[in-house]
Amino acid sequence: MQDFFKSIPHKFTAQEEALIKRALAFAEKAHAGQKRKSGEPFVNHPIQSAIILGRIFPDTSTIVATILHDITEDTPTTQAQLEKEFGREIAGLVDGVTKLGAVRLRNSKDQFYVENLRKMFIATSKDIRVMLIKLADRLHNMRTIEFIPPEKQVKVANETLEMYAPIANRLGIGAWKDELEDLSFQIVMPKEYEKTKALLEEELESRSKNVKEWEKEFASILRREGIKFNEIRGRVKRIYSLFNKLKKYDNDITKIKDIIALRIIAKSTGDCYAILGIIHKHFQPVPGRVKDFIATPKPNGYESIHTSVFSPAGKVFEVQIRTDLMHEAAERGIAAHWFYEERGKGDILERQPGWVKELHAWQEETANNPDEFLESLKIDFFQDHIFVLTPKGDVKDLPVGASVIDFAFSVHSDLGYYMMGAKVNGRMRKIYDELRQGDVVEILKSKKPAKISRDWFNVAKTSHARAQIRKYLAEHDRGIIGRVRELKLPSLRFFRKR
């Protein structure tokens, strides 16, 4: 237990420490006798996952939920027992992680499907802390993936690369995103990984001496100019990131200028711009290579200034300038907001990323209250959407209140026109019944066209379903009018005039 607390750079209160110790003891007892594929005790996995999470988000309830996240799925412990022992909040987080286990990536290269799956993952989480737990869980599984069969390794790595790494990126957690990508890349494309790694190592060998020289020279220049700074250090491009960039430059590594970059950690935002001016005063900038992500942050909230300059020897290198808060935000993402608020260091997300505003609609700034911030982590961006599944696992994005009718037409128009009934989660349901988040829907198809009435139109919520029903009704009405003329019945115009 002492090793656990030493692994997380945070000072817990006596009450918080007691709760975590109780969770560790509870998990060890519940998982007693269970082994991982590596042969080690199973409880090591939730404990290591909790340490991974605690290092970027040392919230006691979230750490405890991470320690307990496999309890209800892999032991006889029930959700009710967990709630009685640890309270509704922690039990609710564990339940959220368990439900996320149903969101799986099947073998599909359809980007629309993958994006919908990510949306469903987010919507199913309901609380960003659930996503953080699941990401920490996946990161530890990826670190120990060598103990599972090779074919399963590929499946898990593909899922990580397609779903988990992009979500870590969406949350702005650069440290997790980078590691998840590199670990997955090594398994999914081993030859490409080794080739890219060798290219990187060769390039680093020739540039590493230059980096040390640049660090000293920049430090000397900034001191002479009277600019204080926290740190100057080199940053090496990650293997998967380099692989993707090489594809854009015909695999010519000499065209990539940011393999190694200098990262200057400034004292303030004003100093970031002052340092940029000083760098351009002493080194010739590369035209068009200045990117101001402070004035215009990336969608995930990333803030920094990037510029590329020529060294005296004619080499091009990149410089990244940011404050320590911006750096923590780049590493910890959304978790950094809580981390710095709790320490009274001010609002790290003054310029809130657009996706954050949309995703969980922060109702108000939570200047000095971590509890209020945790409450604001509840996701309501998707409150007007539900995600339902076909029996094969395809995800359909529908509005709240959508019925079986909407689902059928979202799969295929013919399925709607020939629908005779449906099974939802294995049980027979009416076509007018409203669907709920995560339902698995199977449409029962008839050999003959269905008799579509105007009631269908009134029940349908999606524009696509309503358009298809309107089309059917219009054609059906035209058929009646034609039959009236064929039988030489009184004109409908006559009746309208009367």
Residues whose CB is less than 8 angstroms from the CB of residue 452 and which lie 6 or more positions away in sequence, other chains included: 417, 469, 472, 473, 476
State the total domains in the chain: 4
The answer to whether residues 364 and 208 touch, using CB atoms and an 8 Å cutoff, is no
Do 200 and 348 share a domain, yes or no? no
Do 9 and 156 share a domain, yes or no? yes
Please give the residue range of the domain that contains residue 462. 385-486
**In this structure, what token pair is assigned to residue 335?**
């978790």
The rounded distance, in Å, linking the Cα atoms of 106 and 206 is 43
The answer to whether residues 359 and 172 touch, using CB atoms and an 8 Å cutoff, is no
Instruction: Give me the catalytic one of 40, 73, 202, 414.
Output: 73
CATH of residue 176's domain is 1.10.3210.10
The rounded distance, in Å, linking the Cα atoms of 111 and 106 is 12
Residue with tokens 């564990």: 94
Do 252 and 366 share a domain, yes or no? no
CA atoms within 13 A on the CB side of 249: 14
Output DSSP code: residue 385.
E
Contacts by 80-89, CB closer than 8 A, 24 or more apart? 85/26, 86/19, 86/23, 86/26, 89/61
* pTM for the whole structure: 0.68
Instruction: Give me the catalytic one of 16, 17, 74, 342.
Output: 74
Assess whether 342 carries a catalytic annotation: no
Q: Helix or strand or coil: residue 444?
A: strand
Do 46 and 129 share a domain, yes or no? yes
**Does residue 346 belong to any structural domain of this protein?**
yes
Boundary-marking domain end, from 185, 208, 234: 185
Residues whose CB is less than 8 angstroms from the CB of residue 78 and which lie 6 or more positions away in sequence, other chains included: 72
Task: Report CA-CA distances (Å) from 340 to 46, 211, 324, 326, 345.
Answer: 26, 31, 11, 11, 5
User: Digits of tens for pLDDT over the chain (498 positions)?
Assistant: 778 999 998 889 999 999 999 999 999 999 999 999 999 999 999 999 999 999 988 889 999 999 999 999 899 999 999 999 999 999 999 988 887 776 665 655 556 556 656 666 665 556 778 889 999 999 999 999 999 999 999 999 998 988 888 888 877 788 899 999 999 999 999 999 999 999 888 887 766 667 788 888 999 999 999 999 999 988 888 999 999 888 888 888 878 877 888 999 999 999 999 999 999 999 999 988 899 989 877 766 789 999 999 887 777 889 999 998 889 888 887 666 555 544 444 333 333 344 444 344 333 333 344 444 444 444 434 445 677 888 887 778 787 888 999 999 988 878 889 998 999 988 999 999 999 877 889 999 888 888 888 899 888 888 788 888 888 888 776 555 554 455 554 544 444 444
Do 423 and 465 share a domain, yes or no? yes
Torsion angles phi and psi, residue 310, rounded to 5: -90, 135
Do 158 and 39 share a domain, yes or no? yes
Do 45 and 179 share a domain, yes or no? yes
pLDDT of residue 493: 46
Element (H, E) at 232: strand 229-236
**Does residue 104 belong to any structural domain of this protein?**
yes
Do 197 and 224 share a domain, yes or no? yes
Do 209 and 221 share a domain, yes or no? yes
Assess whether 74 carries a catalytic annotation: yes
Boundary-marking domain end, from 312, 342, 376: 376
CATH of residue 230's domain is 3.30.460.10
The rounded distance, in Å, linking the Cα atoms of 30 and 234 is 45
The rounded distance, in Å, linking the Cα atoms of 290 and 308 is 7
pLDDT of residue 270: 95
Do 205 and 143 share a domain, yes or no? no
Task: Report CA-CA distances (Å) from 404 to 68, 399, 412, 473.
Answer: 37, 12, 13, 19
The rounded distance, in Å, linking the Cα atoms of 63 and 50 is 5
**In this structure, what token pair is assigned to residue 461?**
């919520």
Residues whose CB is less than 8 angstroms from the CB of residue 123 and which lie 6 or more positions away in sequence, other chains included: 379, 382, 385, 386, 387, 437
**Torsion sign (Cα): 170, 176, 178, 179:** negative
Do 14 and 158 share a domain, yes or no? yes
pLDDT of residue 346: 38
pLDDT of residue 363: 31
Among 334, 432, 431, 395, residue whose Cα is nearest residue 127: 334
Do 230 and 326 share a domain, yes or no? yes
